[in-house]
Amino acid sequence: MQTEQGIAEQLRRSSHEFRTIEESHHRLDGELTDLQKRHVLTPQEELVKKQLQKEKLAMKDKMAELIRLYQAGRQPA
Which SS3 state, helix, strand or coil, does residue 15 take? coil
Residue 75 lies in a domain: no
Buried-state track 16-54, b at ≥16 Cβ within 10 A, e below 16? eebeebbebbeebeeebeeeeeeeeeeeeeeeebeebee
The confidence score (pLDDT) of residue 1 equals: 60
- Amino acid identity of 64? A
Number of domains in the chain: 1
Task: Give per-residue pLDDT as tens, 32-46.
Answer: 999 999 989 999 999
- Given a cut of 70, whether residue 75 has pLDDT beyond it is no
Residue 55 lies in a domain: yes
Q: What is the pTM of this model?
A: 0.83
The confidence score (pLDDT) of residue 74 equals: 64
Q: How far is CA 27 from CA 2, 30, 31, 74, in A?
A: 27, 5, 6, 28
Residue 76 lies in a domain: no
Q: The domain containing residue 30 runs over which residues?
A: 4-69
- Given a cut of 60, whether residue 29 has pLDDT beyond it is yes
- Given a cut of 70, whether residue 6 has pLDDT beyond it is yes
